[in-house]
Structure 1
Amino acid sequence: MRRLVYCIAAPSTTSSPTRTVRTPPARTASGRSPTTTSSIWLLGGSELAGVLYPEIDQLIVKLSPLTLGSALPLFSPTTPFRPHTWELTEHTLLQSGPAFLTYDRGGAV
């Protein structure tokens, strides 16, 4: 699996299997071949999720039974307003309390 780490401050690297890049993430995602069958796994904050929002077709959300105070939004507040529906397609409840919720992108609202 090829791993790309997007970072503004770090220098670009090409060490396998992880590569640090400074290319805009949306350009990398949208530049993929239409026949590409591999997935992009996004692990990161709301800024990166907001940039890639048009490319996201599935969300896996972990819900933890713990409150710490205020939280960050799922998508950056600067993400353009493009509402979509999401269909719950799978869920896993762990005995210790967390839940993993899988949603597939529906249509535009």
Structure 2
Amino acid sequence: MENYDNLRYTYEQVLSGTGYYMQDNLLRYSVGVKTTQEKLNATGYNCGTPNGKFDSGTNTAVRDFQNAKWLTIDGKVGNGMTSLYNSSGNVDIYASKIEAAYTTYKNA
């Protein structure tokens, strides 16, 4: 694990694809990481109490989310993953489209 600085990016930058969050060994606080944790918890991917630190619990929840949504399982929260959330923290229509496309492909 590297010394990744999640403070370099805001949540809006992550949503737009100009940055990402990932686990780091210094566990620095980031408002965007806390927002991500809240949204993960709201969608059933429990990462524990949102504390703004990208710890092992957050990493596990991110990877579980990525696996369930057929995304690249890399533990990085980037625009491919966070675009699946709407403002209420629920998975929006994009997740349904991804699942439908995968089901069609799998059954072809």
Tell me if TM exceeds 0.5: no
Q: Which has the larger radius of gyration?
A: 1
Task: Specify the TM-score bucket, using the shorter chain as the normaliser.
Answer: under 0.3
The structure with more strand, counted as a fraction of residues? 1
> What TM-score comes out, normalization by structure 1 length?
0.25
Q: TM-score, normalised by structure 2?
A: 0.25
